[in-house]
Structure 1
Amino acid sequence: MSQPNLRVRRTRALLREALVDLIEERGFDRVTVGELTARAMISRAAFYRNYRDKYQLVEQIFDEAFAELTAAGSDRPPGQRWQEFLAHIDAYHRLYGALLGRRGSPWFADRMRAALAAMVGEHLPGQGGDALAPAVVSAMFLQSIVWWLDHDRPYPPAELAERSAPLIGAVLETAGGATG
Protein backbone atom coordinates (compact mmCIF):
# COMPACT_ATOMS: atom_id res chain seq x y z
CA MET A 1 0.00 0.00 0.00
CA SER A 2 1.40 3.42 -0.88
CA GLN A 3 2.02 6.17 1.65
CA PRO A 4 -0.47 9.05 1.67
CA ASN A 5 0.81 12.31 0.26
CA LEU A 6 2.37 15.00 2.44
CA ARG A 7 -0.84 17.04 2.74
CA VAL A 8 -2.84 14.02 3.92
CA ARG A 9 -0.15 13.04 6.45
CA ARG A 10 -0.04 16.63 7.75
CA THR A 11 -3.84 16.75 8.06
CA ARG A 12 -3.87 13.45 9.95
CA ALA A 13 -1.13 14.60 12.32
CA LEU A 14 -2.92 17.89 13.04
CA LEU A 15 -6.18 16.04 13.71
CA ARG A 16 -4.50 13.54 16.04
CA GLU A 17 -2.93 16.35 18.04
CA ALA A 18 -6.21 18.28 18.20
CA LEU A 19 -8.07 15.13 19.24
CA VAL A 20 -5.70 14.48 22.13
CA ASP A 21 -5.91 18.09 23.34
CA LEU A 22 -9.70 18.10 23.20
CA ILE A 23 -10.07 14.72 24.93
CA GLU A 24 -7.81 15.93 27.74
CA GLU A 25 -9.89 19.11 28.07
CA ARG A 26 -13.44 17.88 27.48
CA GLY A 27 -13.53 14.11 27.24
CA PHE A 28 -13.96 12.05 24.07
CA ASP A 29 -17.76 11.95 24.09
CA ARG A 30 -18.04 15.73 24.12
CA VAL A 31 -15.58 16.36 21.26
CA THR A 32 -17.25 17.44 18.01
CA VAL A 33 -15.92 17.41 14.45
CA GLY A 34 -16.31 21.20 14.41
CA GLU A 35 -14.06 21.55 17.45
CA LEU A 36 -11.55 19.13 15.95
CA THR A 37 -11.30 21.00 12.68
CA ALA A 38 -11.12 24.39 14.38
CA ARG A 39 -8.35 23.23 16.74
CA ALA A 40 -6.43 21.55 13.91
CA MET A 41 -6.94 24.63 11.71
CA ILE A 42 -8.27 22.59 8.81
CA SER A 43 -11.56 22.77 6.96
CA ARG A 44 -14.44 20.41 7.62
CA ALA A 45 -14.12 19.39 3.97
CA ALA A 46 -10.54 18.25 4.63
CA PHE A 47 -11.73 16.24 7.62
CA TYR A 48 -14.53 14.57 5.67
CA ARG A 49 -12.20 13.75 2.77
CA ASN A 50 -10.27 11.56 5.21
CA TYR A 51 -12.83 10.40 7.80
CA ARG A 52 -16.58 10.02 8.15
CA ASP A 53 -16.53 10.92 11.89
CA LYS A 54 -14.29 11.10 14.98
CA TYR A 55 -14.68 7.36 15.54
CA GLN A 56 -13.18 6.55 12.16
CA LEU A 57 -10.25 8.86 12.94
CA VAL A 58 -9.50 6.85 16.09
CA GLU A 59 -10.16 3.53 14.36
CA GLN A 60 -7.71 4.33 11.58
CA ILE A 61 -4.90 5.10 14.01
CA PHE A 62 -5.54 1.90 15.95
CA ASP A 63 -6.15 -0.26 12.88
CA GLU A 64 -2.85 0.77 11.30
CA ALA A 65 -0.94 -0.20 14.44
CA PHE A 66 -2.90 -3.41 14.90
CA ALA A 67 -2.31 -4.42 11.28
CA GLU A 68 1.42 -4.27 11.94
CA LEU A 69 1.00 -6.30 15.12
CA THR A 70 -1.02 -9.04 13.44
CA ALA A 71 0.64 -9.04 10.02
CA ALA A 72 -0.29 -12.26 8.25
CA GLY A 73 2.51 -14.73 7.85
CA SER A 74 4.57 -13.00 10.49
CA ASP A 75 7.46 -15.06 11.76
CA ARG A 76 7.94 -12.79 14.78
CA PRO A 77 7.21 -14.45 18.11
CA PRO A 78 4.15 -13.12 20.02
CA GLY A 79 6.40 -11.48 22.64
CA GLN A 80 8.16 -9.43 19.99
CA ARG A 81 4.85 -8.36 18.44
CA TRP A 82 3.60 -7.33 21.91
CA GLN A 83 6.78 -5.28 22.41
CA GLU A 84 6.32 -3.62 19.00
CA PHE A 85 2.69 -2.82 19.82
CA LEU A 86 3.79 -1.28 23.12
CA ALA A 87 6.36 0.78 21.20
CA HIS A 88 3.48 2.10 19.07
CA ILE A 89 1.51 2.91 22.25
CA ASP A 90 4.61 4.66 23.58
CA ALA A 91 5.01 6.71 20.39
CA TYR A 92 1.35 7.83 20.65
CA HIS A 93 1.17 7.80 24.45
CA ARG A 94 -0.79 11.07 24.67
CA LEU A 95 -3.44 9.77 22.30
CA TYR A 96 -3.83 6.39 24.02
CA GLY A 97 -3.61 8.01 27.46
CA ALA A 98 -6.44 10.33 26.48
CA LEU A 99 -8.57 7.59 24.89
CA LEU A 100 -8.06 5.07 27.71
CA GLY A 101 -7.93 7.53 30.62
CA ARG A 102 -10.69 8.89 32.85
CA ARG A 103 -11.94 11.27 30.16
CA GLY A 104 -11.48 8.78 27.39
CA SER A 105 -13.82 6.54 25.49
CA PRO A 106 -15.36 3.32 26.80
CA TRP A 107 -16.18 2.61 23.13
CA PHE A 108 -12.45 2.65 22.26
CA ALA A 109 -11.44 0.55 25.28
CA ASP A 110 -14.05 -2.06 24.31
CA ARG A 111 -12.91 -2.02 20.67
CA MET A 112 -9.27 -2.43 21.69
CA ARG A 113 -10.11 -5.24 24.11
CA ALA A 114 -12.12 -7.06 21.40
CA ALA A 115 -9.30 -6.74 18.86
CA LEU A 116 -6.78 -8.06 21.38
CA ALA A 117 -9.12 -10.95 22.32
CA ALA A 118 -9.51 -11.91 18.65
CA MET A 119 -5.74 -11.90 18.21
CA VAL A 120 -5.21 -14.00 21.35
CA GLY A 121 -7.95 -16.43 20.30
CA GLU A 122 -6.06 -17.18 17.08
CA HIS A 123 -3.08 -18.38 19.17
CA LEU A 124 -5.02 -20.67 21.50
CA PRO A 125 -5.42 -24.03 19.78
CA GLY A 126 -8.07 -26.36 21.12
CA GLN A 127 -10.16 -23.69 22.82
CA GLY A 128 -13.14 -24.33 20.56
CA GLY A 129 -15.83 -21.75 21.21
CA ASP A 130 -14.48 -20.90 24.67
CA ALA A 131 -13.80 -17.19 24.72
CA LEU A 132 -12.91 -16.91 28.41
CA ALA A 133 -9.11 -17.16 28.07
CA PRO A 134 -8.89 -14.61 25.21
CA ALA A 135 -11.19 -12.25 27.13
CA VAL A 136 -9.08 -12.51 30.29
CA VAL A 137 -5.79 -12.12 28.41
CA SER A 138 -7.05 -9.13 26.40
CA ALA A 139 -8.22 -7.49 29.63
CA MET A 140 -4.75 -8.09 31.09
CA PHE A 141 -3.11 -6.59 27.99
CA LEU A 142 -5.36 -3.55 28.18
CA GLN A 143 -4.92 -3.11 31.93
CA SER A 144 -1.13 -3.35 31.52
CA ILE A 145 -1.30 -0.54 28.98
CA VAL A 146 -3.60 1.61 31.13
CA TRP A 147 -1.42 1.11 34.21
CA TRP A 148 1.71 1.95 32.22
CA LEU A 149 0.19 5.13 30.79
CA ASP A 150 -1.33 6.19 34.14
CA HIS A 151 2.11 5.88 35.74
CA ASP A 152 3.83 7.93 33.02
CA ARG A 153 5.44 4.93 31.32
CA PRO A 154 7.96 4.01 34.07
CA TYR A 155 9.52 1.29 31.91
CA PRO A 156 10.46 1.18 28.24
CA PRO A 157 8.14 -0.93 26.04
CA ALA A 158 10.53 -3.91 26.06
CA GLU A 159 10.58 -4.03 29.85
CA LEU A 160 6.80 -3.75 30.15
CA ALA A 161 6.46 -6.61 27.67
CA GLU A 162 8.95 -8.65 29.68
CA ARG A 163 7.22 -7.90 33.00
CA SER A 164 3.72 -8.67 31.72
CA ALA A 165 4.66 -11.84 29.79
CA PRO A 166 4.81 -14.18 32.84
CA LEU A 167 1.39 -13.00 34.03
CA ILE A 168 -0.19 -13.48 30.65
CA GLY A 169 1.70 -16.75 30.15
CA ALA A 170 0.27 -18.10 33.41
CA VAL A 171 -3.28 -17.47 32.17
CA LEU A 172 -2.52 -19.08 28.82
CA GLU A 173 -0.92 -22.09 30.49
CA THR A 174 -3.90 -22.49 32.81
CA ALA A 175 -6.23 -22.27 29.82
CA GLY A 176 -4.24 -25.05 28.12
CA GLY A 177 -3.09 -22.81 25.26
CA ALA A 178 0.32 -22.20 23.80
CA THR A 179 2.31 -19.25 25.17
CA GLY A 180 4.82 -19.39 22.34
Structure 2
Amino acid sequence: MEKRLDPRIKRTRSLLKTALLNLIDEKGFDAITVRDLTDRAEINRATFYQHYLDKFDLLDKSIENELQDLVTTVAPRNREEFTIAGGEPSPIHIRLFEYISEHAYFFQVMMGKNGVPSFQHQVASQIQDFMSEVLDHMHPDFKDAHVPKDFFTHYVAAAMIGLGMYWLESGMKYSPRYMAEKASYLTIWGPVNAIGLR
Protein backbone atom coordinates (compact mmCIF):
# COMPACT_ATOMS: atom_id res chain seq x y z
CA MET A 1 0.00 0.00 0.00
CA GLU A 2 0.99 3.66 -0.13
CA LYS A 3 0.81 4.72 3.52
CA ARG A 4 4.54 5.51 3.90
CA LEU A 5 4.99 7.33 0.62
CA ASP A 6 6.14 10.91 0.47
CA PRO A 7 3.02 13.15 0.68
CA ARG A 8 3.87 14.71 -2.70
CA ILE A 9 3.92 11.29 -4.36
CA LYS A 10 0.64 10.34 -2.72
CA ARG A 11 -0.91 13.62 -3.87
CA THR A 12 0.26 13.15 -7.48
CA ARG A 13 -1.05 9.59 -7.59
CA SER A 14 -4.33 10.67 -6.05
CA LEU A 15 -4.71 13.41 -8.68
CA LEU A 16 -4.04 10.92 -11.46
CA LYS A 17 -6.46 8.37 -10.04
CA THR A 18 -9.17 11.02 -9.80
CA ALA A 19 -8.43 12.17 -13.36
CA LEU A 20 -8.61 8.56 -14.54
CA LEU A 21 -11.99 7.98 -12.89
CA ASN A 22 -13.44 11.24 -14.20
CA LEU A 23 -12.30 10.51 -17.74
CA ILE A 24 -13.51 6.90 -17.71
CA ASP A 25 -16.87 8.18 -16.52
CA GLU A 26 -16.98 10.77 -19.30
CA LYS A 27 -15.75 8.81 -22.30
CA GLY A 28 -14.52 5.34 -21.39
CA PHE A 29 -11.00 4.05 -20.83
CA ASP A 30 -10.18 3.25 -24.46
CA ALA A 31 -10.63 6.88 -25.51
CA ILE A 32 -8.31 8.26 -22.82
CA THR A 33 -4.78 9.41 -23.64
CA VAL A 34 -1.88 10.20 -21.32
CA ARG A 35 -2.27 13.83 -22.36
CA ASP A 36 -5.91 13.75 -21.23
CA LEU A 37 -4.77 12.45 -17.86
CA THR A 38 -1.99 14.97 -17.38
CA ASP A 39 -4.17 17.87 -18.48
CA ARG A 40 -6.96 16.84 -16.11
CA ALA A 41 -4.56 16.24 -13.20
CA GLU A 42 -2.66 19.45 -14.05
CA ILE A 43 0.73 17.78 -14.07
CA ASN A 44 3.32 17.41 -16.83
CA ARG A 45 3.99 14.24 -18.83
CA ALA A 46 7.41 13.73 -17.26
CA THR A 47 5.78 13.59 -13.84
CA PHE A 48 3.25 11.05 -15.09
CA TYR A 49 6.02 8.77 -16.39
CA GLN A 50 7.87 8.99 -13.06
CA HIS A 51 4.91 7.10 -11.55
CA TYR A 52 3.39 4.96 -14.31
CA LEU A 53 4.50 3.28 -17.52
CA ASP A 54 1.32 4.21 -19.38
CA LYS A 55 -2.43 4.55 -18.88
CA PHE A 56 -2.79 0.78 -18.51
CA ASP A 57 -0.30 0.75 -15.65
CA LEU A 58 -2.22 3.56 -13.95
CA LEU A 59 -5.47 1.62 -14.33
CA ASP A 60 -3.97 -1.67 -13.13
CA LYS A 61 -2.35 -0.12 -10.06
CA SER A 62 -5.47 1.89 -9.20
CA ILE A 63 -7.60 -1.27 -9.28
CA GLU A 64 -5.00 -3.35 -7.45
CA ASN A 65 -4.66 -0.80 -4.62
CA GLU A 66 -8.43 -0.40 -4.27
CA LEU A 67 -9.05 -4.14 -4.11
CA GLN A 68 -6.22 -4.67 -1.63
CA ASP A 69 -7.72 -1.97 0.59
CA LEU A 70 -11.15 -3.56 0.25
CA VAL A 71 -9.95 -7.03 1.25
CA THR A 72 -7.89 -5.71 4.15
CA THR A 73 -10.84 -3.68 5.45
CA VAL A 74 -13.50 -6.35 5.07
CA ALA A 75 -11.45 -9.39 6.17
CA PRO A 76 -13.10 -11.54 8.86
CA ARG A 77 -11.42 -11.27 12.25
CA ASN A 78 -12.59 -14.65 13.51
CA ARG A 79 -14.88 -17.60 12.76
CA GLU A 80 -17.78 -16.07 14.69
CA GLU A 81 -18.09 -13.28 12.14
CA PHE A 82 -19.28 -15.90 9.64
CA THR A 83 -21.93 -17.38 11.89
CA ILE A 84 -23.31 -14.45 13.90
CA ALA A 85 -26.97 -15.01 14.79
CA GLY A 86 -29.82 -13.24 16.54
CA GLY A 87 -30.70 -10.94 13.66
CA GLU A 88 -27.53 -8.85 13.96
CA PRO A 89 -25.69 -8.07 10.73
CA SER A 90 -22.30 -9.68 10.23
CA PRO A 91 -19.39 -7.30 10.92
CA ILE A 92 -17.97 -8.49 7.59
CA HIS A 93 -21.02 -7.18 5.73
CA ILE A 94 -21.07 -3.97 7.75
CA ARG A 95 -17.46 -3.27 6.79
CA LEU A 96 -18.13 -4.24 3.17
CA PHE A 97 -21.05 -1.88 2.63
CA GLU A 98 -19.42 0.92 4.59
CA TYR A 99 -16.36 0.57 2.35
CA ILE A 100 -18.47 0.62 -0.80
CA SER A 101 -20.28 3.70 0.53
CA GLU A 102 -17.01 5.51 1.24
CA HIS A 103 -15.59 4.60 -2.19
CA ALA A 104 -18.86 4.74 -4.12
CA TYR A 105 -17.58 6.87 -7.00
CA PHE A 106 -14.77 4.41 -7.77
CA PHE A 107 -17.17 1.45 -7.94
CA GLN A 108 -19.87 3.41 -9.79
CA VAL A 109 -17.39 4.41 -12.49
CA MET A 110 -15.70 1.03 -12.82
CA MET A 111 -19.01 -0.83 -13.05
CA GLY A 112 -20.89 1.90 -14.91
CA LYS A 113 -21.82 2.24 -18.57
CA ASN A 114 -18.33 3.48 -19.54
CA GLY A 115 -16.60 1.30 -16.97
CA VAL A 116 -13.85 -1.27 -17.35
CA PRO A 117 -15.37 -4.60 -18.47
CA SER A 118 -12.74 -6.73 -16.69
CA PHE A 119 -13.23 -4.99 -13.32
CA GLN A 120 -16.15 -7.11 -12.18
CA HIS A 121 -14.17 -10.27 -12.94
CA GLN A 122 -11.20 -8.92 -10.99
CA VAL A 123 -13.41 -8.19 -7.98
CA ALA A 124 -14.93 -11.67 -8.16
CA SER A 125 -11.51 -13.33 -8.40
CA GLN A 126 -10.23 -11.33 -5.44
CA ILE A 127 -13.21 -12.29 -3.29
CA GLN A 128 -13.01 -15.96 -4.34
CA ASP A 129 -9.29 -16.23 -3.61
CA PHE A 130 -9.63 -14.47 -0.31
CA MET A 131 -12.65 -16.51 0.81
CA SER A 132 -10.88 -19.73 -0.13
CA GLU A 133 -7.83 -18.78 1.93
CA VAL A 134 -9.95 -17.77 4.93
CA LEU A 135 -11.98 -20.97 4.78
CA ASP A 136 -8.80 -23.05 4.70
CA HIS A 137 -7.99 -21.61 8.13
CA MET A 138 -11.46 -21.33 9.66
CA HIS A 139 -13.17 -24.37 8.15
CA PRO A 140 -10.48 -26.73 6.82
CA ASP A 141 -12.60 -29.90 6.95
CA PHE A 142 -15.26 -29.92 4.22
CA LYS A 143 -16.49 -33.48 4.80
CA ASP A 144 -19.77 -32.16 6.26
CA ALA A 145 -20.29 -29.66 3.45
CA HIS A 146 -23.14 -30.12 0.99
CA VAL A 147 -21.35 -28.10 -1.71
CA PRO A 148 -17.67 -27.93 -2.76
CA LYS A 149 -15.68 -24.98 -1.50
CA ASP A 150 -15.27 -23.48 -4.99
CA PHE A 151 -19.08 -23.50 -5.43
CA PHE A 152 -19.42 -21.58 -2.19
CA THR A 153 -16.74 -18.98 -2.95
CA HIS A 154 -18.16 -18.33 -6.44
CA TYR A 155 -21.68 -18.07 -5.03
CA VAL A 156 -20.69 -15.59 -2.33
CA ALA A 157 -18.61 -13.48 -4.74
CA ALA A 158 -21.44 -13.28 -7.28
CA ALA A 159 -24.01 -12.49 -4.59
CA MET A 160 -21.95 -9.71 -3.00
CA ILE A 161 -21.11 -8.14 -6.37
CA GLY A 162 -24.75 -8.33 -7.42
CA LEU A 163 -25.97 -6.70 -4.22
CA GLY A 164 -23.27 -4.05 -4.40
CA MET A 165 -24.11 -3.18 -8.01
CA TYR A 166 -27.82 -3.06 -7.25
CA TRP A 167 -27.18 -0.75 -4.31
CA LEU A 168 -24.98 1.61 -6.33
CA GLU A 169 -27.37 1.65 -9.30
CA SER A 170 -30.31 2.41 -7.01
CA GLY A 171 -28.54 5.50 -5.70
CA MET A 172 -27.67 3.80 -2.39
CA LYS A 173 -31.22 4.36 -1.16
CA TYR A 174 -30.58 2.02 1.78
CA SER A 175 -28.04 2.60 4.54
CA PRO A 176 -24.87 0.47 4.72
CA ARG A 177 -26.23 -1.15 7.89
CA TYR A 178 -29.51 -2.06 6.22
CA MET A 179 -27.63 -3.64 3.32
CA ALA A 180 -25.43 -5.51 5.78
CA GLU A 181 -28.48 -6.82 7.65
CA LYS A 182 -30.08 -8.19 4.49
CA ALA A 183 -26.81 -9.60 3.11
CA SER A 184 -26.16 -11.29 6.45
CA TYR A 185 -29.62 -12.83 6.49
CA LEU A 186 -29.24 -14.16 2.95
CA THR A 187 -25.77 -15.51 3.60
CA ILE A 188 -26.24 -17.03 7.05
CA TRP A 189 -29.55 -18.74 6.36
CA GLY A 190 -28.48 -19.93 2.92
CA PRO A 191 -24.97 -20.85 1.72
CA VAL A 192 -23.29 -20.81 5.12
CA ASN A 193 -25.54 -23.64 6.28
CA ALA A 194 -24.79 -25.48 3.07
CA ILE A 195 -21.05 -25.73 3.87
CA GLY A 196 -21.61 -26.82 7.47
CA LEU A 197 -20.35 -23.78 9.39
CA ARG A 198 -23.42 -23.78 11.65
- Residue equivalent to 2:87: none
- Following TM superposition, by how much is the alpha carbon of 1:120 offset from its aligned partner in structure 2, in angstroms? 2.6
How big is each residue's C-alpha offset from its partner over 1:44-83, in whole Å with a ceiling of 9 and x where there is no partner?
Answer: 3433433441222222222223223237xx3482521332
Q: 1:65 aligns with which of 61, 67, 70?
A: 70
What is the CA–CA distance in structure 1 between the aligned matches of 2:69 and 2:165, rounded to whole Å?
20
Task: Give the TM-score taking structure 2 as reference length.
Answer: 0.76
Superposition map of 1:122-161 within 5 A: 122-123=134-135, 125=140, 126=142, 130-161=149-180
- Following TM superposition, by how much is the alpha carbon of 1:134 offset from its aligned partner in structure 2, in angstroms? 1.0
What is the CA–CA distance in structure 2 between the aligned matches of 1:44 and 1:70, rounded to whole Å?
38
Q: 2:111 aligns with which of 72, 87, 100?
A: 100
- Residue equivalent to 2:60: 55
Segments ≥4 residues shifted beyond 4 Å: 127-130
What is the CA–CA distance in structure 2 between the aligned matches of 1:62 and 1:37, rounded to whole Å?
24
What is the CA–CA distance in structure 2 between the aligned matches of 1:15 and 1:48, rounded to whole Å?
11
Higher relative contact order (CA 8 A, sep 6+): 2
Give the % identical residues: 26
- Residue equivalent to 1:119: 130
State the number of aligned residues.
177
Greater mean deviation of Cα atoms: 44-53 or 97-106: 44-53
In structure 1, give the amino acid aligned to 2:112: G
Partners of 1:120 and 1:134 within 8 A in 2: yes
| Corresponding residue SS for 1:101 | coil
- Following TM superposition, by how much is the alpha carbon of 1:178 offset from its aligned partner in structure 2, in angstroms? 2.4
Partners of 1:148 and 1:154 within 8 A in 2: yes
What is the CA–CA distance in structure 2 between the aligned matches of 1:57 and 1:45, rounded to whole Å?
19
Greater mean deviation of Cα atoms: 158-167 or 27-36: 27-36
1:162 aligns with 2:181: yes
How big is each residue's C-alpha offset from its partner over 1:8-33, in whole Å with a ceiling of 9 and x where there is no partner?
Answer: 22123212221221111112343333
- Following TM superposition, by how much is the alpha carbon of 1:103 offset from its aligned partner in structure 2, in angstroms? 1.6
What is the CA–CA distance in structure 2 between the aligned matches of 1:50 and 1:65, rounded to whole Å?
23
Indicate how the Cα distance of structure 1 residues 48 and 84 shifts in structure 2: closer, same or farther if over 3 A, else same.
farther
What is the CA–CA distance in structure 2 between the aligned matches of 1:103 and 1:169, rounded to whole Å?
34
- Residue equivalent to 1:33: 34
Partners of 2:128 and 2:157 within 8 A in 1: yes
| Corresponding residue SS for 2:171 | coil
Partners of 2:109 and 2:115 within 8 A in 1: yes
Task: Give the TM-score taking structure 1 as reference length.
Answer: 0.83
What is the CA–CA distance in structure 2 between the aligned matches of 1:146 and 1:98, rounded to whole Å?
11
Aligned CA RMSD, in angstroms, stands at 2.6
What is the CA–CA distance in structure 2 between the aligned matches of 1:111 and 1:60, rounded to whole Å?
12
In structure 2, give the amino acid aligned to 1:163: K
